[in-house]
Chains A and B, each alone.
Chain A
Amino acid sequence: MEITSATAELLELIGRASGDEKHDASSFSTLDVLQVLYEMLRVDPADPGWEERDRFLLSKGHGPLAYYAVLAYNGFFPADELSKFMTWDGILGGHPDRGRVPGVEVSTGSLGHGLPMAVGVAYALRARGLDTQRVFVLTGDAELNEGSNWEAIMHAGSAQLANLTAIVVDNGSSNVRLGEIAAKLRAFGWDAAGVDGRDHDALREAYLHRSDRPTAVVAVV
């Protein structure tokens, strides 16, 4: 993990929260990935529904604290909300709700839903003529146990949805041995490569890589 001043602030934000659903391993393994993504993602915290934004979908929905911290850091909602994580008066649940949290695109937590929805969003942007907008979806090695992801991966590769990028955080939490995830994605027609999920420069470069196919960044942490 690169400790920049921004990272330090994000860690401080995460530290404000408590509760069983912190899923510490999930939160900390996605922090660098999300911090770097939101440095380049075209979004407007003052207008979360801005049509010309890039879309980010947290597919796995687990360990959302890093996500919440990054959103708060970028101004989507007041940092005070972090201290109300998973409480009656707060908007930040154990799994994110698009109806409650500004900047959250999808309500996830049940695994295997976000990636298929991201495929639909990618199609919809294309149909709308929003050709420069990108769709990022974050999944994990354990979430990839869910078969619905592989349906969507198979379809997106076949359809060559080039505006779609999957970020796969591989923190070794899958109890099914997946082998090299990038190789599996390439077999389904994706342009996929593995990177050090803590290396900000490498992540940045990987996110900027474009292709005539869907791309995948397997962030190993």
Chain B
Amino acid sequence: MTAMRQQAMSAVVDVFERDENVAVIMADISLDYLRRAVEHDPRRAINVGIMEQSAIGVAAGFALEGYHPIVHTLAPFLAERPLEQIKLDFGYQGLGGLFISAGASYDYGESGGTHHAGGDVQALGSIPRLEVLVPGSARETDALVRASYANGRPTYLRTSIVENDAPLELAPGGLTVVRRGRDLTVVAAGPFLSRTLAALDGIDATVLYATTLVPLDAATLAREAAPAAEIVLVEPVYEGTTAAQVSAALAHRPTRLLSIGVPRRFLKRYGTAEQHDADLGLDVGGIRERIRAFVG
């Protein structure tokens, strides 16, 4: 199976070769994946080196001249270190660019906290106009790269080593109805869909799947939410990141919301993503336990 990151880079190279208005900015990461772009046209495939603030600035320079820049590096160094560059150079200036990260949350679980990024979506979500994409499979990643690279907005696409069991047909920008039920409404984001479905075994729930976390598809959520007041949000980012959007979408009715996500603390153990999942209660058993306690 092709991993999300590899598929994203493959799609980037493809759009780069097809569309001469695409520029690719690298910061010394994934150079092998993007070598073909450099060979195709080195004038618009630039590795700036290990300088993420300037990577965003250089990308904005391309955008000022009408290019669709795509920037790629690891999540903490793309979303957090140059946050102000994305906010001002792209957001405030009204430019568009696609920012593709690798190393979601604790994907680099053995590397320690410097390489973790549970807060990337919340940080970037504070920037007006910015869109956040959290695909759950390589195929979705491919589609989202192609659909978003020229959308005229700053767009953050978060790849992960964690994927769903089987990719769904997705409607980019919207919530996908996975199934309908009466006793609970669940919004599951990106690669946390499979484990959420497994955790819901025996519960008659409406399940909505999100690959776009910002802006959340409020209209579909309001329309499809089950009659029961209980809402569960399961997302592979800091707990509660999308809670305000869920609440706003359901402001017209009584709701009781449970937010499941990455706990807001620094992780001090070294291990695989699966080990951290188990430790944090984000594996199937942990999610099931929290949902059952919530619905009684």
Contacts and interface: CB of A to CB of B under 8 A. Distances in A.
Contacts of A107: 88, 92-93
A123 B57 contact: no
Interface string B50-76: 010110111111111111010000000
B140 interface: no
Contact of B57 (A120, A124, A126, A159): A120
B58 A123 contact: yes
B53 A148 contact: yes
A151 B61 contact: no
Interface stretch (A12-20, A25-33, A109-117): A109-117
B89 interface: yes
Contacts of A126: 43
B204 to A, nearest CB: 50
Nearest to B45: A127
Contacts of A121: 61-62, 64-65
B175 interface: no
B167 interface: no
B156 to A, nearest CB: 19
Given A105-B64, A127-B44, A117 B57 contact: yes
Interface string A113-152: 1011111111111111000000000000000000110011
A220 interface: no
Q: Is the interface of A mostly helix, strand, loop or mixed?
A: helix
Q: Chain B interface residue count: which class?
A: 20 to 34
Contacts of B64: 105-106, 117, 120-121, 124
Residue in A110, A113, A117 with the greatest tally of chain B CB atoms within 10 Å: A117
A152 B61 CA distance: 12
B54 A124 contact: no
Contacts of A123: 23, 43-44, 46, 58, 61-62
A127 B89 contact: no
Residue in B43, B89, B94 with the greatest tally of chain A CB atoms within 10 Å: B89
Given A116-B56, A116-B57, A155 B51 contact: yes
Given A116-B56, A122-B61, 13 more contacts: A105-B64, A106-B93, A110-B88, A113-B85, A117-B64, A119-B54, A124-B61, A124-B67, A127-B41, A127-B67, A147-B53, A151-B48, A151-B51
A154 interface: yes
B128 interface: no
Contacts of A177: none
State the 10 A-B residue pairs at the shortest beta-carbon distance, nearest first.
A120-B61, A116-B57, A124-B65, A151-B51, A120-B58, A127-B43, A151-B54, A121-B61, A116-B54, A148-B53
B219 to A, nearest CB: 29
